[in-house]
């Protein structure tokens, strides 16, 4: 098929590569303009641009896809279908009408669940055990178009299987699904079903206010939040006024925490204890009666490390409190 591909972040790269590998005619790749990045704020290309140039594909970077010049370019290209994966701009009705088969999108959730900007992060924050990928026909709404095909993905129980890992996994699944869907589209057998709006939920972009850890929350809530925010932007706490990114927590049951860690005993939430092998354990929940293991952290300006390495480096003693003033 003659395809215009539209995508920006790393999530979109596997789909682009899969389309090339399966012999589709990629007319051009449309991605966002280069943006300042890093400490030096130098212009950096989006991952899709880097991948496209490496594949020898032409790249277009419109500031706004609704501009008349870009719409005209699309008409001249006359694609059979436009494939979208995390592009980052709203597609207008004028554009939607250009390709023969319209626009189809890779969305990392089981629509109508988690429409919006952060479906991967939100499903982990909410403690979901299953998510998936949907190939959808785009309309002018945000993730409201008809469903083509979808597939479930079981989220592993590993507390360090974070949003970064899950996004990579769903990107690979999405690439496979898109290839399968385009084959059905070519054969005239692609399914199409309206979304059930009564079951819709929204996944808004992560806000800065959500990054700060509240150790009064339950162990399961804390583990989900940390998992959903890692590796970027990362959940945040402080120790002696110094910032600390928390990248992995593991919930400890009463039996696992007993006896040395005094599971069920009231402590100030955020209070640090030590388990076998120097493992760092933190009191949390109502009256600090629950326990989580601090598996991985990143102090400001330093590399990622285990909680035990962090405690040894700072020469911390039991009773120190995260989030305290």
pLDDT tens track for 115-146: 999 999 999 999 999 999 999 999 999 999 99
Query: What's the pLDDT score for residue 257?
Result: 64
pLDDT at 271 over 90: yes
The fraction of the chain above a pLDDT of 90, given in percent, is 89
| Of residues 257 and 282, more confidently modeled | 282
Q: Which CATH architecture has domain 208-314?
A: Roll (3.10)
Helix (H, G, I), strand (E, B) or coil at 267: coil
Q: Is the pLDDT of residue 261 over 90?
A: no
For 39-79, what is each residue's pLDDT tens digit? 778 999 999 999 999 999 999 999 999 999 999 999 999 99
The confidence band for 325, taking pLDDT boundaries of 50, 70 and 90, is low
What residue spans define the domains of the chain? 2-199, 208-314
Question: 2-199: what fold?
Answer: Rossmann fold (3.40.50)
The predicted model scores a pTM of 0.95
């Amino acid at each position: 098929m003659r395809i215009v591909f539209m995508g920006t972040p790393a999530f979109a790269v596997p789909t682009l590569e899969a389309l090339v590998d399966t012999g589709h005619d990629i007319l051009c790749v449309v991605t966002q303009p280069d943006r300042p990045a890093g400490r030096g704020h130098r212009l950096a290309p989006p991952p899709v641009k880097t991948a496209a140039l490496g594949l020898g594909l032409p790249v277009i970077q419109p500031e706004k896809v609704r501009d008349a010049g870009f719409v005209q370019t699309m008409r001249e290209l006359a694609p059979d279908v436009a494939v979208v994966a995390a592009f980052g701009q709203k597609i207008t009705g004028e554009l939607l009408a250009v390709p023969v088969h319209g626009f189809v999108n890779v969305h990392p959730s089981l629509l109508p669940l988690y429409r919006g900007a952060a479906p991967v992060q939100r499903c982990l924050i909410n403690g979901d055990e299953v998510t998936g990928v949907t190939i959808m026909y785009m309309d002018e709404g945000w993730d409201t178009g008809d469903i083509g095909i979808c597939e479930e993905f079981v989220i592993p129980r590993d507390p360090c299987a974070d949003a970064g890992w899950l996004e990579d996994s769903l990107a690979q699944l999405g690439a496979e699904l898109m290839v399968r869907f385009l084959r059905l589209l070519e054969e005239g057998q692609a399914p199409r079903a309206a979304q059930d709006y009564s079951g819709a939920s929204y996944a808004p972009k992560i806000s800065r206010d959500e990054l700060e850890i509240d150790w009064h929350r339950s162990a399961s809530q804390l583990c989900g939040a940390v998992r959903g925010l890692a590796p970027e932007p990362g959940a945040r706490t402080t120790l002696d006024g110094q910032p600390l990114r928390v990248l992995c927590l593991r919930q400890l049951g009463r039996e696992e925490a007993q006896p040395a860690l005094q599971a069920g005993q009231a402590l100030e939430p955020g209070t640090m204890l030590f388990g076998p092998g120097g493992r760092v354990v933190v009191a949390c929940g109502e009256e600090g009666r629950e326990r989580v293991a601090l598996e991985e952290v990143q102090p400001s300006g330093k590399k990622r490390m285990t909680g035990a390495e962090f405690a040894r480096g700072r020469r911390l003693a039991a009773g120190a409190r995260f989030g305290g003033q």
